[in-house]
Chain A
Amino acid sequence: MSDPINLISQWFANLLLSWGLAEGLVKVISSAIGAAIVATLGLVTVIALIWVERKIAGRLQDRLGPNRAGPFGLLQPFADIIKIFTKEITTPNGADKVAFNIAPVLAMASVLLIWAVIPFAATVVGTNINVGVLYIVAVGSFGIVAVLMAGWSSNNKFALLGAFRAVAQMVSYEIPMVIALLVPVLLARSMGMNDIVAAQTPWFIVIAPLAALIFLITSMAEVGRAPFDLIEAESEIVAGFHTEYSGMGFGMFYVSEFLHVWTVGALMATFFFGGWSGPGAENLPILGIVYFYIKTFIGYFLVTWIRLSLPRIRIDQLLAFNWKFLTPLALVILIATAIVDKALEIAGVERWGYALIMLAVNLFIGWVTILILKAVEPRRKRQRVEFAPRPVAVAPKTPDS
């Protein structure tokens, strides 16, 4: 009874076999159903996430958030879904019809495909391929293609500008992200997601906090949310690459963005928070799923919190931050981790001693980074923009005062 999900899938496979289906066919059918369940789970999660995010946003902005439809506004996402489904799907004049309509599907797929390799529990994982980490990065590149297709096929200047920004941002932030992802791969000695989870004693957030930080920052840039939301900066380029989309076309971009944030939480949990591991999760996989979801939510909340707290950065700041700060730091961390890891392996330091030394190395690199930043900052000429003094609004005199 400890593993109901595999129990059900076993029972189902045996049922099909008893009907006289070939073994290969049964495997194909089981895999297809598993894929459908994982994908649907992701999409259903988004319904809840929209409500959660709006509630968090409301609280952080000193509002109530949705509170009209149903208790605590819980039915609000359903009202939104019905509304968005009934909207007309328009294709603008001069747009490239095929590319225009494929782009949202591709954007959605690029996020959903990541869930194929994420381990929910020790035994509950879509497919445990040995190149899991690379697979995640590769699948993410479909998202870039989707944004490019959407921006180009819309036949709209703002959409094209948004797509340009998106590609500049996504392609450049992919580099420190991949380097930061190499750190858990190096520590776990494997690219398989389940192996990385199993290797985390203690969690990699303790052993490699700087890599976790870089991964968090760069994945936020990949998602394209504030403070990295230049790709759809509504005060500059309307809505960026999805300016021309309406109805469910826009809805798919919207949902894929939400799901992407949730996926970032899941990746943070898998790579740095120990994934499904926790007390009793080895023997009771169903407990692992609970731990995994709690950790994913922590990562998700972190991203949302940052999104709601920071203003948008400029494009030059965005690129300078990536190329002059994140990429060199990621490279230094990777090299330092590799050298120290090998030295400790030769010296025979295990477990907690190993973790403490790794943590100390990370803190030292962080401290030196801050020192360098402090030394560089005063030398750089600040560009000050001076405005003419603006008239201050004065309250009109009321008769009784």
Chain B
Amino acid sequence: MSGLEIIFLIVAGVTLLASLFVVTTPNLVHAALWLILALFGVAAAFVLLNAAFLAVVQVLVYIGAIAVLMIFAIMLTRRVMKDSGPQTNANWVWAALLGLLLFAGLTFVLINSGAEQASLPALALDADPIAQLGQELVSPNAYVIPFELASVLLLAAMIGAIVVAWKK
């Protein structure tokens, strides 16, 4: 086993454990903090895949913005220091079953895809991957329509937020 594999196993283990705690811990703020660890684990996995840009954006967007806003919202609720009771209801068996099924399905697809024989594709060292990504995002032959659609969606959300918050 190479060093990279050992690091990957540690990262994956931490991510999975943290995700488990997100749904089982009785304290909402603790759940949000575990979520931060899980998201950070995903960022570390991106680093292991040589995707530095995705890793940094993962930290910036998911931890720096989304998780912080979630904690902020949770803290505005009353009795934040108290546990909010059990995190499961009568349907937890079905949810667990569904989760297991999804996991089994994904594992099945991954095993049959032949991905375990594939190796990391070599990066073109002469070109800056960020510059390539940027050009792909605005190139008419590539991702310009999804990119612009996402932009319009975000703009609409921003305008909606302003309208909601506007003082009558």
Contacts and interface: CB of A to CB of B under 8 A. Distances in A.
B12 interface: no
A141 B65 contact: yes
Interface residues of A, number: 31
Contacts of A24: 3
Nearest to A151: B75
B129 interface: yes
B52 A94 contact: no
Interface stretch (A68-76, A163-171, A251-259, A280-288): A163-171
Contact of B68 (A130, A145, A155, A191): A145
B21 to A, nearest CB: 12
Contacts of B56: 131, 134-135, 138
A160 B128 contact: no
Contacts of B3: 24, 28
Contact of A134 (B30, B57, B75): B57
A149 B64 CA distance: 13
A375 B57 CA distance: 40
B103 interface: no
Contact of B60 (A134, A149, A167): A134
A38 interface: no
A160 B57 contact: no
Contacts of A130: 52-53, 128-130
Interface in B36-60: 36, 52-53, 56-57, 59-60
Nearest to A141: B64
Interface string A126-138: 0001110011011
Nearest to A134: B56
A23 to B, nearest CB: 12
Contact of A141 (B53, B68, B75, B129): B68
Interface in B77-123: 80-81
B80 to A, nearest CB: 7
A389 to B, nearest CB: 35
B14 interface: no
Given A94-B81, A152-B71, A152-B75, A171 B65 contact: yes
A239 interface: no
Contacts of A190: 128, 130
Nearest to B68: A144
Nearest to A28: B3
Indicate the member of A99, A148, A190 with the most B CB atoms within 10 Å.
A148
A331 to B, nearest CB: 13
Nearest to A129: B52
B65 A99 contact: no
Contacts of A131: 52-53, 56, 130
A142 B56 CA distance: 12
A174 interface: yes
Contacts of A3: none
B28 to A, nearest CB: 11
A163 B60 contact: no
A53 interface: no
A193 to B, nearest CB: 13
Contacts of B69: 171
B63 A142 contact: yes
Given A94-B81, A134-B53, A164 B75 contact: yes
Indicate the member of A96, A138, A144, A164 with the most B CB atoms within 10 Å.
A138
Nearest to B63: A141
A144 B64 contact: yes
B33 interface: yes
B29 interface: yes
Contacts of A135: 52, 56
For the complex of A and B, 10 pairs with smallest distance between CB atoms:
A141-B64, A138-B60, A138-B59, A134-B56, A138-B56, A131-B56, A131-B52, A135-B56, A131-B53, A148-B71
24 contacts: A28-B3, A96-B30, A99-B33, A130-B128, A130-B129, A130-B130, A131-B52, A134-B53, A138-B56, A139-B59, A141-B64, A141-B65, A141-B68, A145-B71, A148-B68, A152-B75, A163-B75, A164-B72, A167-B68, A167-B72, A171-B65, A171-B68, A174-B64, A190-B130
